Amino acid sequence: MTATRRTLTRTDLAPLSRAALGRVPTTVTRIRGGSKKGVYRLVFEDGTTAVAYVWSADEDLWDAGPGDPRDPFSHASGLALFTAAADRLAAAGVRTPRLLHADPTHTHLPADAALVEDLPGGTLEDLLDRDPAAAPKALERMAALLTTLHTCTGPRFGKVAVVDNGVSSYGSSCEELVVARALGDLDELPARDPRAAAAHPQLADAVRALAARVRPRTSPPALIHGELGGDHVRVTADGDLALIDIEGLMYFDVEWEHVFLRLRFGHHYEALRTEGLDEDRLHLYRLAMHLSLVAGPLRLLDVGDFHDPEFMRGIAEHNLQQALSLTEWT
C-alpha cells in the first residue's frame, strides 16, 4: 500500500517555477482532487498564480506504475500523455490551461513536471451547484464544447499520444475493448463483495448479451476526454470553459463519453444530449461503466491513500446497485 503522500513545499517547487517564470512562489498549496498526479497552486508576491503538475509514484494514489499506452484504458498518467493531449485539444480549438513549462528530463524535480496557467474561477460542477441561474448558459457552452470536441475524429481508436504518432492500439474495436475491460473488472469483484460474487454469472451473461447486440461500426472514432464530469471543466473569468485532467484523451466511441456525461451531470445531462447515438452501445457501455466504477474505487482503497475512503465506498456501492439493476436489459 502506498504510504501517505508528502506534500511538496515552496522549496521543492521553486526550481521549476524559476525555470518557467524566472521567479519563485511565496506560498504553495496542494489542490485537492487529483489521484494520479500532484496538483499545486503557486502564489507569487504580486498575487499572480500558476499551477504545478507533478507525475511521480509518490503522488499517484493508484500505485499502478507506468501503463502501456497502446491499451486505451491503461493508467492515464504522465507528462507525455498530457502534452500530446494539450497539443491535440489546442488544434481542435478546445481550451485547456496554457502550458508554461514542461520538464520531461527531471531537471527540477525527480519526476515529470509541468507548470500551467491557473484558472481559479472554479469548476463547472461548482457553478451548477451554487448558481442555478447561470446553469443554462454554462450548459449551452458545455454543449458547444462537446460538439467541437466530438466533431474531431482520428484514423483509429486509442490514446491521442499513440494514434497521433502513427501507432495502433491493442484490440480490434472499441466494443471489444469495453467488453474485455468489463469482464476483467467483474472478475475482480467477488473477492471484494459477496453480492458481486453471487451475481457474477448473471452480470457476465449480461455483458455478453449486450455485446452481442452491438453492430460493427465503420465511422471513425471521435475525440473524447474519457472522464468528462463537471469537476474536469474549469470556468474562466470570462465564462469560457477549459478542460483539465486531460491525460486520458483518446479517439473512441462517442457513446463512451456520453455514458460518463450522463452519470456525472445527472439531470443537467438533457442539455448535453445529442442525436445519433447508438442505443445498443450505450446500453453495453453503461453496464461496463458501472462495473468500472465499482472495481476502480475498491482497487484504489486497497492500494492507495485516498483522503475520503467513505466517499469511494459510496461510489462503489451506488454503482454496484446500478449494475445489478441493469441486468434486466438482457
pLDDT digits (tens, 9 = 90+) for 16-74: 999 999 999 999 999 986 789 999 999 999 999 999 999 998 898 886 667 799 999 99
| Helices 279-303, 309-326: inter-axial angle, 10-degree rounding | 150
CATH of the domain at 113: 3.30.200
Helix, strand and coil in the chain, % to nearest 5: 50, 15, 40
Residues 196 and 272 in one domain: yes
212 lies in a domain?
A: yes
User: Residue 59 corresponds to which cell in the numbers above?
Assistant: 503522488
Please give the angle made by the CA atoms of 304, 207 and 178, to the nearest 5 degrees.
Answer: 55
Q: Look at residue 5 in the predicted model and tell me its pLDDT.
A: 72
Grid coordinates representing 182 are 468489463
Within 10 Å of residue 95's Cβ, how many Cβ atoms?
Answer: 18
241: helix, coil or strand?
strand
Give pLDDT, residue 1: 40
Please check whether residue 2 lies inside any domain of the structure. no
Domain closes at, from 87, 102, 117: 117
Residues 181 and 271 in one domain: yes
85 and 192 share one domain: no
Q: Tell me how many domains the chain contains.
A: 2
User: Shortest CA distance to 36 belongs to which of 13, 55, 52?
Assistant: 55
pLDDT range class, residue 256, cuts 50, 70, 90:
very high
- End residue of a domain, out of 57, 90, 117: 117
Q: Is the pLDDT of residue 305 over 70?
A: no
**191 & 252 share domain:** yes
Together in a domain, 151 and 225: yes
Helical spans, DSSP H, in the chain: 10-21, 79-92, 124-130, 135-151, 160-163, 174-188, 194-212, 254-265, 279-303, 309-326
What's the domain range around 247?
Answer: 124-329
Model pTM above 0.85: yes
Q: Which of 72, 97, 117 is the last residue of a domain?
A: 117
Based on the fold, state whether residues 144 and 246 are members of the same structural domain.
yes
My answer on whether 69 and 91 are in the same domain is yes
